[in-house]
Amino acid sequence: MPRKKARNTKGRIIAAAWKLFYEQGYEDTTIEDIVFESETSKGSFYHYFDGKDALLGTLSNVFDEKYEELLPALSPEQDAIEKLVFLNHELFAMIDGSISLDLLARLLSTQLLAMPGVRTWPDVVSVAFWCRRANLLKRKEEYGQYQSRLGRGVAFHIAPSNIPVNFVFSYFFALLAGNASVVRIPSKPFPQVEMICVALRRVLPNHPEIECRTAFVTYPISDEITASFCESADLRVIWSGDATIADIRRHPTKPKCLDIVFPDRYSICVLNGEAINGLDETMLKRLSGQFYNDTYLMDQNACSSPQLILWEDGSQGAVLERGSNEGGGKIRTPGNDSGRQVYPTV
C-alpha cells in the first residue's frame, strides 16, 4: 500500500506540473503552484524532484499514463497496425491539446547547457540560448499577423562543412515554419555536432509528433543518396559554395520544389585607428574577441570572415600604441615600408 501511495503522489505531481506548464507556461509556473494543484506538499515534491527543471524529464510518464488509459478502448478485432494507429492518433491529440512547443525548446536548451564542458564551446551555448522560450516568443512577435502558416512539406538541408552548429539553426527555422526535415549534418567529427545531436536524441522522443518528422543524416559524398533526398524534397536549403550548389541543382526535384541557397559570400573589414585609440581596455578586448571569431574560428571560410582588412585614419598610430606582445601574429604596420614588425592585440 505505501508503494502504491508513493506512485500516486509522484504521479499527481507530474500530472499537475504538465497541466500548469501548458496553461500558464513553464516560466510562470512555480513549485508552489504545482504543490497546490497536486494537493501534495513541498516535502513530497522535493522527495521526488530536485526542482522544477527535473520535471522536464518526466514527459514519458505522462505518455505511459495515457497509454494505460487508452488500453481498455482497444478492440480485440483490431490488428496490430490498427491498434498502433489508434494509439498514436490519440497520443498526438493529447500532445496538441496539453503540451506546448515552447516546452520542447526549454527541454533542448536545458539539455545543452547541462552538457559536460559545454562552456568551452560558445557556439553550442549560443544555440542553447537561442532556443529559449523567451527568445522564441520574441521571434514570434516579429511576425505579427503571420501567426498561422503552413509548411511546404519536406525540407532537405545540406549544412556547411566548416560551421558545426549551422545545421541545427537550419532545422529550427524549417520546424518553426511548419516543415518536416531531413538534415545532412557535417561529416567532419565536430564535438559541437555530437553534443547537439545527443541533446536532440534525449528531447525528441518526448515529442513524437516532431520526432517522426525529423531526420539527421550523414554520409560520404554520394550523388545517388543526394539525388534520392532531392527527389522527395518540397524544399531544399543548401549552405555551400557556388560550385556545390550548381552540382546539387543537377538532381531532379518535384515541380514545385523551392530552393533556398546560401552561396559564396565575401566580407571585408575596415579598422579605424582613431576609433581604436579611443577604446578602453574592456572594449578593446571585446573588439579583439569579435575580430578573432569572425576571422579565425571558421578557418576564414565563413561569410563573415574578412578576405581583406583595411585600415584608415591614424591606423599606424593605433597599431603602435595599442600593440601587445599577447597578440596572435606579426604584421607589417600600415604605411611602413621598412618591414618593422609589431604584435597587435588584434
Please report the domains of the chain, with CATH numbers, ordered by start residue. 2-99 (1.10.357.10), 102-262 (3.40.605.10), 267-342 (no CATH)
Considering Cα of 305, then 307, then 309, then 310, what sign does the dihedral take? negative
If you ran DSSP here, which 8-state letter would residue 177 be given? Answer: T
Residue 209's nearest CA partner among 55, 58, 93 is 93
The 10s digit of each residue's pLDDT in 6-62 is 458 888 898 888 888 877 777 788 999 999 999 999 899 988 988 887 787 777 777
Task: Give 195-215 pLDDT, tens digit per residue.
Answer: 888 888 888 887 888 888 999
Residue 118 CB neighbour total at 10 angstroms: 18
Name which of 264, 228, 267 is nearest 243 in CA terms: 264
CA 329/CA 266 separation, integer angstroms: 23
Q: Which three cell numbers stand for residue 12?
A: 499527481
Give the integer Cα–Cα distance in Å for 34 and 256.
49
Q: What is the pLDDT along the chain (346 residues), one digit of tens a residue?
A: 444 444 588 888 988 888 888 777 777 889 999 999 999 998 999 889 888 877 877 777 777 777 788 888 888 888 887 777 787 777 767 766 666 666 666 677 777 777 777 777 878 888 888 887 777 777 777 776 666 667 899 999 999 887 888 899 999 999 988 899 999 998 788 888 888 888 888 888 878 888 889 999 988 888 899 999 999 999 999 998 889 999 999 999 999 999 999 888 888 888 888 888 888 888 888 888 878 777 776 666 677 778 788 877 655 555 544 454 344 433 344 444 433 333 333 3
Cell numbers given for 115: 552538457
Rounded Cα gap, residues 146 and 10, in angstroms? 41
Q: Which residues pair with 158 in a beta bridge?
A: 184, 238
Interaxial angle between packed helices 133-143 and 101-113, expressed in degrees from 0 to 180 and rounded to the nearest 10: 140
